[in-house]
Structure 1
């Protein structure tokens, strides 16, 4: 293989990786994108080159398909890895920052569970999980209600110690938030759980460049 051919292949691999940073850009709308995906699927050497290039950038190729396109995620320690502090700035967490982190963590877990209900879906490149913010909030609230019932049946203390409010259990924190809190403009307020779920679904991290689920 000549240096020129190697250079062309590397450039093509980089272009395919680059598409992964554009979650709204689908292969169906771009012939060049489709061609790169076909090459990835049909040429093992090219697929290996793409994975090696991605790894060198601190990314792991999660899947490549004609439907979902290139999906990659940041490896631990990667410059593309999104820390909770960075995510907090993206979603404009301000007051009660620690509480907001807990709520976003719960909702992200719920999104993953609902988007991939079966283990085999995780390994299916053609599978696209679909979940709505309302579905996420209702699911989490039903789980929290169940935990509340169990706590009541077990006569557990309902409130955290007055001198240690941070010990409040996560499900109690969630149940204290309304699902929808309409504002004067008719939009749901930032403290509502549905607003948090909507942001979690629509704000991509720097590393997990395309969410496997769709709203």
Structure 2
């Protein structure tokens, strides 16, 4: 096989690693070697970038922790709403959108938090309290006035959030899917399936560690008005458990 074909095959293999949620360079020497080559060999890097672009993807980050990819609009790899949860009402879509932004703002409430390497830990209960407190602060600020024309969906979402019950257990002991706690649980499990969070215990409705891939993705989200509004509404009251202090023994763990 000629060198160009070998490079193309190696590039495709590296992209496949980047698309595999639980793949870690520390656990696979082939991944580690290809990643190192991508970062140091300009010609090979150009081949990888061409494969990435051809698949409708972009490289968000490449480091010793892995290749982080994201789909562009219309990419075959873009997540469809039906893949996330079927038969969502318009209100539920707004709430799930708010919840995903809320998880990100809870884990990384400041620009500095996005830059440090501290382990970030979040539980279902902690995120629920964070979002409810932020929504209550926004309600105190805006009252029952008509939604801001610049942020109609965000205002509608936090108003809807306050109307939903935080917890209601089903007959088999699970959180009701229409409660905010149940929605947060679903969102965090989906993020875990995508290799962005790692479940570390059942405490507080489920406790999760944010992984490097998630932090990289949140950097993109941090520019949005919704993220800034939620982080700003929480102010200095973001609980300490969102940072490394609550990670305890997890702080020294790798992402394997």
Structure 1 pair 93–79 and aligned structure 2 pair: CA distance change class (3 A): same
1:31 offset after TM fit, Å? 1.7
* C-alpha distance in 1 between matches for 2:3 and 2:77: 29
1:26 offset after TM fit, Å? 1.8
Matches within 5 A, 1:1-215: 4-67=2-65, 69-82=66-79, 86-94=80-88, 97-119=89-111, 130-152=121-143, 156=144, 169-203=156-190, 210-211=195-196, 212-213=213-214
Structure 1 pair 75–128 and aligned structure 2 pair: CA distance change class (3 A): farther
1:112-135 Cα distance to aligned partner (Å, 9 max, x none):
3234444466678x7876543333
Structure 1: tracts of 5 or more residues without a match: 159-165
Structure 1 pair 60–89 and aligned structure 2 pair: CA distance change class (3 A): closer
Output the TM-score relative to the length of structure 1: 0.75
- SS of 1:70's partner is strand
* C-alpha distance in 2 between matches for 1:89 and 1:213: 19
Structure 1 pair 134–88 and aligned structure 2 pair: CA distance change class (3 A): farther
1:92 offset after TM fit, Å? 3.1
Structure 1 pair 132–50 and aligned structure 2 pair: CA distance change class (3 A): farther
- Which residue of the partner structure matches residue 163 of structure 1? none
Structure 2: tracts of 5 or more residues without a match: 147-152, 197-212, 216-256
Deviating 4+ runs (over 6 angstroms): none
- SS of 1:147's partner is helix
Give the number of the structure whose alpha-carbon radius of gyration is greater. 1
Output the TM-score relative to the length of structure 2: 0.64
Structure 1 pair 12–192 and aligned structure 2 pair: CA distance change class (3 A): same
RMSD: 3.0
- SS of 2:19's partner is coil
